[in-house]
Structure 1
Amino acid sequence: MPLITSAGVGSGLDLESIIKASIDAENIPKMQAFVKKEESLKVELSALGEVKSAISKLNDTVKKLADPDNFGKRVANITQPSSGDIISVTPTSDISVGNFDIAVKQLAQGSRAVSADNAFASIDDVVSATGGTLTFGAGTDNNFTLDVTAGMTLGELRDAINASDSNFGVTANIVNTGTTAGSKLVLTSNVTGDGNRLTVTNDNAELDAVSIGTTGGMTIDPTEDARNAIITVDGLEVQSDTNTFKDAVQDMTIKALAKSAGNDTDGYDTASLNVDYDRESVNTLIDEFISNYNNLIGNIGFQTRIGKPLNGDSSMRTLSDQLITTLSTTLTDAGPFETIFDIGLGVDNDGYLEKSSLVRSLNDAMDSNYDDIGTAFAGENGVAKQLETLLDNYASSSGLIKDREDGLNSRISDLEDDVENHEYRMASLEERLRKQYAGLDVLIAQMQQTQSYLGAQLANLPGFTKSK
């Protein structure tokens, strides 16, 4: 607080130092106590924040462990033939584990139509002098019409087909053969599967050359007709109108990427497919759980050591005890597992969670009772479900730690009010002292003036001799 440096001017006394010393004697111990208390509250608040953060991090992992879907994942391991990749596979969590040999006998394709030799000499040839309408189709659900204007050239027809907003998937190209065959219009349909052959009809005979099935019109070679994809699964033939086979093996999607090497006579190269439980993702999730659990235990231990802000805090001791109690929950419907310590987990002497093989290893448990591991964590009475409830009680927006934080923040706010009130009292004390010392300053100044006056008068009296 600012001090007005004017006290003592009249008397010559160092009244400013006296006022400052008087205020400091009252102010400094109190302010030091305020600072110490605020630091203590903020350190405690920070310690709670560290513990809360560790709880939230563990709870994020626990929520994943409480989701049965995370234990139902399957992984497809494919050994492709030496000739190259022929399939990709996406299993669902419902598929049974197993082994399959898969070959691709034929890929699905759409139609490819080519105009006749000498139908057009170049892309500038006129398709129709009077114009008309072309109707394109492929199967029962795909069709569109195109208006051909009078005098439209072959190149303009190509561009109009490709630019049509209603085009369902027909691509037009022109191949300039450089021979007497001239320029050829090539139409390719992306609609695959048997029965989806490309059709092009017209309403004007002038357009026969760019139609299919007309005299002198476009033709589709048998090898370039629309057809199904064909695969074999363990020797059983399966067909699809696209290269994607959904549920050819129940609950699995197989995509044909390339035709297998070989033939019907000598046999086709196969890809070996092994569908298994996604043990790696479960192992990773359990490792994450162990790491975040131990992080929380270590954090509690650190913050409750002697000299630390949460030393002796009963809520932290309670949380530690509840964590161990919850881990030790007796499981139901989890096969041979009575607690999660039966699936390859354990707790060391310091309370830290670890993978253990005292009863059986986690991998052994997966080998013998994989589904029961999911029940142990994510079942109705599973450990993860109970841990989730426990941790929510502490770390949620209405949890115990939030209540503690709100209480500490309220005390810090009250302390700030106390500091303001104290500063007001110190300002009042300074004002009162200045008034008191101002009076003293005036009185002493007057006495000094009187002394000087009397001394001068006495010095002028007859017979008065000033001492030397």
Structure 2
Amino acid sequence: MAAITSAGVGSGLDLESIIQATVNAEDLPRVQRFETTKTRLSVELSGLGAVKSSLSAFQDIVKKLAELENFTKRSNTITQPASGSVISVASNDTATPGNFNIKVNQLAQGSRATTNAAFTSPSDVVSANGGKLTIAAGAKTFDIDIAAGATLEEVRSAINNSADNFGVSVNIINTGGASPESKLVITSSVTGAGNDLTITSDTAELDNLSTTAFAGGTPGLTIAAADIAKDAIIEVDGIAINSSSNVFKDAIQDLTITATKVSEGTESAKLTVDYDKSGVEKLLGEFIDAYNNAIGTIDYHTQVGAALYGDSSIRSLRSQMTSSLSTVVSNAGGFETLFDVGIGLTKDGTLEKSSLVRSVSDALTSNYTGVGKLFASENGVAKTFESFLETHLESKGSFTFREDNLNRSLKQLENDRESHDYRMTQLESGLRAKYASLDVLIAQMQSTGSYITQQLASLPGFTSKK
């Protein structure tokens, strides 16, 4: 007899439904428990992740407040004259606050030398035999070898392309007209009085390209009075100050002033150097926002029905955050807690800028350094927050420990689910094997019964009951 490939085909019984009902009775309750457990673990993991993320964002702000250098910065406010910007200013953290009027009388300039010799074209030969030019400005110098038969254009290229060039630029000016001339113009970037270009040679043949003739004759390069190297000159509150460049370092102690344009007439820029109160106030605003976000995230995920409802460790963490707000700090210029510097606590446990005692701005104005000590001193508010946040958020902290455990549980759940699926496959296979034998047996019995009935029907006098 051919094998039966579908349960019940041979017997006519609904064996498929019987097998499926048996498997489902074993499978569905376990699958439901798997899904319920997976959802619970996933939601808890998600809730922990959200709380951890909000605390990490808060920790970033706390770390900034724990650095005293963030309370030592200076701000520079410049009011430029109507004619345009004449200065820029940078200050370091030790600059003394103050107000200054700054006038730019002169910008620094490098020197410029021009040939007097009547070269008529860039292709004119400057030396039949060649030689060496030595170009200097201030303490800087370099040499250029002039080849025999070199042209004015070749001299220009040799100087401009020299690897030792310290900042000398050479151009050729062609006058044109009935009596055209080509003049070599050499400009130095070395600024400051006394740093004029000097160009000497080792042969009189190159005197036309020198500021000092080789043999004591007349040089071919001259520097006009308007083209000599000059210092930059500024006035700070009427006091004249010179610099070999346009940068004035410590003209006002701990400030760097850069002259960018000569003042017109009596115009001056007004400079105010102050503590960076706006920067610190912004940072304190970020502290308040990040703290409130962390508290709000914790409250959301611990409310009734939420993933972390009743979680003792999260409740403890929130309690620590609240208690850290009341950290008492000594030697902070009269400020003892953050509530003394214009920060208040609302009924729902969040922070706000408050003026009940004084505003944040008032605190920074009255004692900028004290606010810094309140947060960034060894036992300051920010240091206190930083310490306990690190305990929870570091690589081996409580959040990592719990997340690892939850991920392990999810992995184990996945393994259990695979094992269960395998058992269900084996169960179904076993049932099919058993019912297949029954199916064959019933089919055989039915076939035998039909055969006997047919044989009896062929006997004389046999009547089948209907």
From 366, 385, 397, the equivalent of 1:399 is 397
Mapped contact 2:104–2:234 kept (Cα < 8 A): yes
Report if the CA contact (8 A) 2:62-2:287 is conserved. Answer: yes
| Structure 2 residue corresponding to 1:258, chosen from 257, 261, 273 | 261
The equivalences for 1:303-342 within 5 A come to: 303-342=301-340
Matches within 5 A, 1:145-160: 145-160=143-158
Cα distance, 1:411 vs. partner? 0.7
Task: Please give the alpha-carbon distance, in whole angstroms, between the structure 1 residues aligned to 2:29 and 2:114.
Answer: 100
Q: Which residue of 2 aligns with 1:121?
A: 120
- CA drift of 1:374 comes to 1.0
SS at match of 2:344: strand
Q: Does 1:424 align with 2:422?
A: yes
Which 4+ residue blocks in structure 1 deviate beyond 4 angstroms? Answer: none
Partner of 2:99: 99
Q: Is 1:249 aligned to 2:256, yes or no?
A: no
1:76 to 2:76 alignment: yes
Residue in structure 1 matched with residue 233 of structure 2 by the alignment? 230
| In the alignment, structure 1 residue 130 sits paired with structure 2 residue 133 | no
What is the DSSP-based 3-state SS (H/G/I as helix, E as strand, rest coil) of the residue aligned with 1:300? helix
CA positional deviation for 1:194: 2.1
What's the offset of the Cα at 1:245? 0.8
Q: Is the 8 A contact 1:34 1:419 kept in 2?
A: yes
The structural deviation recorded for 1:464 is 2.2
Matches within 5 A, 1:186-201: 186-201=185-200
2:211–2:219 CA contact under 8 A, matched in 1: no
For structure 1, the residue ranges without an aligned partner over 5 or more in a row are 263-267
Distance of 1:383 and 1:299 partners within structure 2: 22
Distance in 2 separating the partners of 1:167 and 1:216: 22
Match of 1:360 among 346, 358, 361: 358
The correspondence for 1:220, drawn from 205, 219, 223, is: 223
Report deviation, 1:435: 2.8
2:162 aligned to which of 158, 161, 164? 164
- For normalisation by structure 1, the TM-score amounts to 0.94
Distance 2:29 2:286 in 1: 50
For 1:445 and 1:269, locate their aligned partners in 2 and report how far apart those are by CA, in whole Å.
116
Matched letter for residue 431 of structure 2? L
Q: Give how far 1:70 is off.
A: 1.5
Aligned to 2:279: 281
Shift of 1:413: 1.0
Pairwise CA distance, 1:105: 2.0
CA contact (8 A) 1:119 1:209 kept: no
Alignment match, 2:288? 290
2-side partners of 1:287 and 1:457: how far apart?
Answer: 103
Cα drift, residue 11 of structure 1? 1.4
Return the offset for 1:181.
7.5
AA aligned opposite 1:253: T
Task: After superposition, give the CA deviation of every residue in 1:164-204 in whole Å (9 maximum; x if it has no partner).
Answer: 11111111112223365822211111111122111000111
The CA RMSD over aligned residues, in Å, is 1.7
Report the TM-score when normalising by structure 2: 0.95
How many aligned positions are there?
458
- Give the C-alpha shift of residue 137 in structure 1: 0.6
Contact 1:40-1:309 within 8 A present in 2 as well: yes
- Letter of the aligned partner of 2:260 in structure 1? L
The question of whether the paired residues in 2 share the 8 Å contact of 1:111 and 1:226 is answered with yes
Deviations 1:419-466 (A, max 9, x none): 122122212222322232223223322322332233233323433223
| Mapped partners of 2:182, 2:443: distance in 1 | 123
Aligned equivalents of 2:418 and 2:182: distance in 1? Answer: 94
Please state how far the C-alpha of 1:9 moved relative to its aligned partner. Answer: 2.4
Partners of 2:54 and 2:293 within 8 A in 1: yes
Preserved contact between residue 277 and residue 365 of structure 2 (Cα < 8 Å) = no
Q: What is the SS of the residue equivalent to 1:248?
A: coil
The answer for unaligned runs of 5 or more in structure 2 is: none
**CA-CA distance at 1:5 after TM superposition:** 5.7
2:347 is aligned, of 349, 361, 375, to 349
> The residue matched to 2:453 in structure 1 has which SS?
helix
Residue matched to 1:265:
none
Which stretch shifts more, 429-438 or 45-54? 429-438
Alignment partner, residue 268 of structure 2: 270
Q: 1:414 aligns with which of 407, 412, 415?
A: 412
